[in-house]
Structure 1
Amino acid sequence: MKKFIRHLIAAAALAVPASVFAAGASVPLDKAPIDIQNVESLQRGAQIFTNYCLSCHSAQAMRYNRLTDLALSEKQIKENLMFATEKVGDTMKVAMAPADGKKWFGATPPDLSLIARARGADYLYSYLRGFYRDPSRPTGWNNKVFDKVGMPHIMWEWQGDQVMETVKGKDGHDTHELKLVKAGAFTKIDENGKANTAEFDSRMADLTNYMVYMAEPVQVKRQQIGYVVLMFLVLLLLPFAYFLKKEYWKDIH
């Protein structure tokens, strides 16, 4: 009986979304606008990932040639997305040695192949947009979602500088909010001090979208096949249902 209870508790724990554990109950997550059928978004996300994330993180469960599923030719992949290898069939390895990563960031940067399945899309989207200046941290950066994060804000030139402000909520309790104080290449602040981050948010949505795809590349084709199968079943069964109805009700009408 005790063994059964332990198994039941373990199953319940696995059923809880990973993002709850990752962010904590006190940190609200923004909804990620994910659409893995949007090939253009996935292409943009792949470009950001290979140009920025692969500098420190690997994705060894993902091969470059899988990007042909995103309507990219091998020539385009080699010319625009491959920097650490010359073979399009290689996995997305990182050039940085694990020992160097641990020395520079305090911990070896994790492999990102399955990060979207482990953390959740909302977590990633909120994390990528949640960096703020923190002089107490070794890198000068902290993150609203991941407190005391070791990773610096590699997109700061795009987003600009955010600071964490403590403000009074409607209920009288102190809340922490991010405020953009210096605009980046893809953000702006108007004359009233109001920040517009739509373009930066769109790019982080593309990156998140790609990481969701990368965690399970086959899901794109699986969904496409699913739509075809459902359409086939509807077209196949609808005539039978119609004639069955006529036969069943013929003595009444």
Structure 2
Amino acid sequence: MSTASSTALITGASSGIGAVYADRLAAQGYNLILVARRADRLQALAQQLTERFAVTVTLLVADLSAEEGINAVENELRNNEAITLLVNNAGAAHMASFLDSSAQAHQDIITLNITALTRLSLAALPRFKARNAGTIINIASTLSIHARDETALYSGTKAFVLNFSRGLQAEFAQSGVRIQVVMPSITATEIWGHSGIAHAQLPEGTVMTTEDMVDAALAGLAQGENITIPPLHDMALWERYEEARLAVFGASRTGVPAPRYGK
């Protein structure tokens, strides 16, 4: 539960996961700053939330794939001392052959999925560090740890989100600042339509609702998880993955080429 003065800034808030985060955080008493490109959707959502929860909702119309939009949100994060929670949710995908898109289209996704998330985190963290309190929630994906054909760029950007978040978690481990990374699998959002894949093309039984995804992510946050994977039932699988990952990292610190590479 937030304090009366707490404000959450949510990117990509006009629909899908971001809109559900707005609803759930408003229910907890957070005032909100909602960031997205579509002013009409933000206005409709803000009206619903203020009527239902009597919280203050501020709208910031910004395109986070553009420098001007990133600058506007950075300034808000640096100057608004009420912000205690940042949800880096805005993102885009293009599920198609890497060669089917232009360099500019790829760059727009990289800017939105990586550059904006990085710079907004940098804008928020100095105040969080000074206060020794504050939370950043970064939305990654199970494709952070796996890539398939037609997911090269998206998987690469989400792998950055996962490892970037891990690094921040280590850096702030001894502080009151929290960084949670959330790894959804297939979630029923508009990103699929924009990516070129319709919901009907997705395997039956694999799609999670946005409501279930966000509720699980917030439950994970409340339970102290640094990495939350809403659809993963057998956490022993993740624990073995982590053990193997750390074992490979540790075993690689020899300074000597492996015998298989000898002459």
- For Structure 1 versus Structure 2, the TM-score category normalised by the shorter chain is under 0.3
- Normalized against structure 1, the TM-score is what? 0.25
- Using CA pairs below 8 Å that are at least 6 residues apart, which structure has the higher relative contact order? 1
